[in-house]
Structure 1
Amino acid sequence: MASNNSLNGGELSRYDFRVVLVQVLVSVFLCINLFLITTFFMEAFFYTSMRYILFAITLLSDSLFLSGTNVLLILDYFHLTMQMWLCLIIVIVLYLYVFVTSVTLTAMTLERYVAICMPLRHAELCTTRSALHCVLIIHCLSSVPCIVFVSIFASAPLSFYKQHRVCSVEMFIFHRWQSHLRSAVSEFYFLIMCVVIVFSYVQILKAAKAASGENKKSTGKGLRTVVVHGFQLLLCLIQLWTPFIEAAVLQINVMLYINIRYFNYITFILAPRCLSPLVYGLRDKRFFNALKYYALCGLYRKQSSG
């Protein structure tokens, strides 16, 4: 990020305010996630059900990713440096959880497809054991792009990793082809995930047209869930392009670069990670009732049962 010294007083004040606002938003998001994760572990039904296990994985992944990116934002703001080998580890972990969230969203879409289009096999295919295997597969698939990125970053000399600099992924890009390869791998993954989501949506749409009564209501809700997952993946895909846009804008105007980077962080990093709690934390009736019960210290269940 550009040096604060290059900004005048008014611009610096606005930048300070935005950094503080990001801290507030991230803090609120992490508190909400902590409450959702706590609720998940308080009910046996949730941590023995595949859809809620995958939901918990997205919460944990998003929380780790936001915490990591926020730490880098603070370090950048105060111009605090670290050795590049430590920066590389942080960058790789953040890349891992970008893909963990996206691949998990795709797995959640497939779970909805099985539940609606193959209801008789749902209990057989979506067991707790299958969910744990699915989590392992998600992390393995998400690790493949990270391995590619490590091979790209390995082109740097050993002396580079002993240097102290402000941590940024751009520090490891020495050639244009490295940036293109990183982008190509990411886009290939997101293309596959988009195909899966479109396939699931079409199949659920067919089931919705053939359904009636309660089944029609269930399939309609499943369609809306798949659409939200697709929108989340779209935001994550756009996030991959933001470094290229920011690098181009930086050559034109420093303040415009800061404004665009701030907008990108709010829109393509914070926003998609706020959708999961809304989809499963508020729209899911069973989970929402559990949230109200624990938020009101048990008063909700007593009132509803009285």
Structure 2
Amino acid sequence: MILNNRTQLNITRQGILALVLFSTMTTLPCCVFLFINLTMLYTLRSKVVFVETSRYILLFNLLFADTTQLAQSQSMFLLSTTRVTMSYSVCVGLTLLSFLTISVSIITLVIMCLERYIAVCYPLRHSAIITTRNTGWVICVIWCVSLFHVITQLSLILRFSFPDLQLTQMIDFCGKESIFLDPASDLYYRTFTYFLFVLGGVTVFVTYTGIIVAAHSASTDKASASKARRTLLLHLLQMGLTVSSTIYISLLIAISKHVGRLEAMRIQVFLYVCIIIFPKCLSSLIYGLRDQTIRPILMLNLCCQRSVLIPDVSAKDKIKIHKSV
């Protein structure tokens, strides 16, 4: 009897140590990337050149959505690893927030691909088409479409009648599998998600092909076209990873039914880092390291040093900025 008690105590200690280790392994990189993303957001609002350039405005919108989703995902991850349950209404709110930010991220990436295509293939018309005002309207449309998606999803969720739903305490992971009790909700979610992914894939394919064709023209800047192609491929990778994050909870629930708790936690950490944390830091890495305009100011802000002064840019300088990535 004493031996059994000691064995159970050792197992309990191992579980606690594993829980602390896994939580630390995810929280530390998440905090680092949250700091980088927040610094990047501050950088994109610290200079006039960023505020008045359409590409950087779109980047700010993308980073804002990714940063919000990263903070929300880390909160839900810690709650799930510590087995803290929540009410159904709170889970619905957090899950719908995730739907909103994912939709905004994917649609923004689609618009950024189109912006790169216009910048390379129609450089003389770029400044007339991609204006600050038009970019603002596009961002409003992105958020309106995403909000409409969330409202539609919420209306489908509430179609299912629950007694005292707002007081119902959940006993499992909080995710779309836990709140989609009506098959229509899951069908709509899958249809909308697949539509966004197909839309993004087709957009990248068309714009990438157009840039390749334009690169053979004598009037096209070869270096700019090459950078734009690499940027489009990175955006495609972001879209794929963002869409894959929608099946994270499904994989986790399926795996936890066939393996022990420690093994499930190890797999959970691996999947979480690969398909949740990594996609949300790609934008900062892509533009923070590759963009020659952002990089020096971002590095100074990350080191908490005084930023260098950037003079007002002319129209000719703005064209160079558009071609920097």
**Aligned twin of 1:199:** 206
Counterpart-to-counterpart distance in 2, 1:247 and 1:79: 13
Q: Retained in 1: the 8 A contact 2:208–2:229?
A: yes
Q: Matches of 1:105 and 1:128 in 2, distance apart?
A: 17
> Aligned match of 1:61 in 42, 59, 65?
65
Q: How many residues align?
A: 296
Larger relative helix fraction = 1
CA gap 1:71/1:292 in 2 versus in 1, 3 angstroms: closer
| Structure 1 residues 94-133: aligned runs within 5 Å | 94-133=98-137
Q: How does 1:1-306 map to 2 (within 5 A)?
A: 8-154=12-158, 155-165=160-170, 168-169=174-175, 170-175=177-182, 178-211=185-218, 215-255=221-261, 256-294=263-301, 295=303, 297-298=305-306
Instruction: For CA contacts below 8 A with separation 6 or more, give which structure has more relative contact order.
Output: 2
Letter in 2 for 1:161: Q
Q: Deviations over 1:176-210 (max 9, x none)?
A: 56434422321122111111111111111112232
User: Could you report, residue by residue, the CA deviation over 1:116-154 in whole angstroms, capped at 9, with x for unpaired residues?
Assistant: 111111101111111110111111222343233213311
CA distance in 2, matches of 1:127, 1:300: 26
Q: Is contact 2:113-2:204 (8 Å) kept?
A: yes
Larger radius of gyration: 2
Shift of 1:11: 4.6
Amino acid corresponding to residue 83 of structure 1 in structure 2: S
Other structure's SS at 1:285 match: coil
Check the 8 A contact 2:297/2:308 in 1, yes or no: no
Shift of 1:86: 2.6
Q: Report the CA distance shift for 1:298/1:258 in structure 2 as closer, same or farther (over 3 A).
A: closer
Distance 1:118 1:71, change over 3 A: same
- C-alpha contact 1:293 1:301 (8 A) present in aligned 2: no
Retained in 1: the 8 A contact 2:100–2:146?
yes
RMSD of equivalent CA atoms: 2.4
Secondary structure of 2:199's counterpart equals helix
Distance 1:34 1:211 in 2: 41
Which amino acid letter does the alignment assign opposite residue 197 of structure 2?
F
Native 8 Å contact 1:183 1:240 kept in 2: no
Higher alpha-carbon deviation: 190-199 or 245-254: 245-254
**Pair 1:91–1:244, CA change in 2 (3 A):** closer
Which 5+ residue runs of structure 2 have no aligned equivalent?
1-8, 311-325
Structure 2 length as normaliser, TM-score? 0.83
TM-score by length of 1: 0.88
Where does the alignment leave 5 or more consecutive residues of structure 1 unmatched? none
SS where residue 31 of structure 1 aligns?
A: helix
Separation (CA, whole Å) in 2 of partners of 1:301 and 1:137: 34
For 2:105, the aligned partner's letter is: T
Q: Which AA in structure 1 matches 2:267?
A: I
- How far, CA to CA, are the matches of 1:142 and 1:241 in structure 2? 19
Give distance in 1, aligned partners of 2:259 and 2:183. 22
Q: Give, in whole Å, the separation in 1 of the partners of 2:247 and 2:180.
A: 15
Cα shift at 1:243: 3.0
Q: Give per-residue Cα distances to partners, 1:44-83, cap 9 Å, x unaligned.
A: 0101111001111111111111111112222333443433
Contact 1:39-1:291 at 8 Å conserved across structures: yes
CA distance in 2, matches of 1:300, 1:236: 34
Shift of 1:272: 1.0
CA distance in 2, matches of 1:190, 1:250: 28
Superposed CA offset, 1:73-104 (max 9, x none): 22333443433223212211121001111111
Structure 1 residues 299, 110: closer, same or farther in 2, change over 3 A? closer
Kindly indicate whether the alpha-carbon contact (under 8 Å) linking 2:62 and 2:104 is maintained by their aligned counterparts in 1.
yes
Give aligned-pair identity as a percent.
26
